[in-house]
């Protein structure tokens, strides 16, 4: 089997927060043998409270990017290493507000991105973002 092909026996290594504090369920980072790091930030959850931040799409998107930044840093990566992003919105009318914050974190060549409208997200959040990061 080639190193780039997934196998049912592949292992992943979790990367913790720089503070050493246990992370809430809002983010995970795994290094895989397929030469990429997957980062999944489920919602704009404040790691100190475990709750989604108040303030709607802009506050949640900013919190997600703060969480992503911490997780990427812990993995020795940055937003420049992102290959793909998935964005999930409960209201597609929030796209422009989310996109303004999103765009401030990336520079050309921008990562591939999908944006999908969904009926609901965990904890009543308005946005969820996941990343695939080059190892």
Give residue 42's pLDDT: 73
Q: What is the dihedral of CA 30, 47, 86, 80, to 10 degrees?
A: -70
Which pLDDT value is given to residue 37?
Answer: 65
% helix, strand, coil for the chain, step of 5: 25, 30, 45
The pLDDT value recorded for residue 49 is 95
- The pLDDT of residue 135 is 76
- The whole-number pLDDT of residue 134 equals 86
* pLDDT score for 15: 45
Q: Which residues of the chain have pLDDT under 70?
A: 1-37, 39-41
Helix axes 95-103, 56-74, angle to 10 degrees: 30
The domain limits of the chain are: 13-134
- Looking at the chain, how many residues does it have? 135
Domain 13-134 in CATH: superfamily? RutC-like (3.30.1330.40)
Q: What is the pLDDT of residue 33?
A: 46
């Amino acid at each position: 089997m080639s190193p780039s092909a997934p196998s049912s026996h592949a292992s992943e290594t979790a990367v913790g927060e720089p503070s050493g504090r246990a992370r809430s369920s809002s983010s995970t980072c795994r290094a895989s043998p397929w030469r990429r790091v997957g980062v999944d930030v489920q919602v704009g959850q404040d790691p100190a409270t475990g709750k989604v931040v108040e303030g709607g799409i802009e506050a949640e998107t900013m919190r997600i990017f703060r969480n992503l930044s911490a997780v990427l840093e812990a993995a020795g990566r940055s937003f420049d290493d992102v290959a793909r992003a998935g964005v999930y919105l409960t209201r597609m009318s929030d796209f422009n507000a989310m996109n303004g914050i999103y765009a401030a974190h990336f520079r050309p060549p921008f990562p591939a991105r999908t944006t999908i409208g969904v009926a609901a997200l965990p904890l009543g959040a308005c946005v969820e973002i996941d990343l695939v990061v080059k190892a």
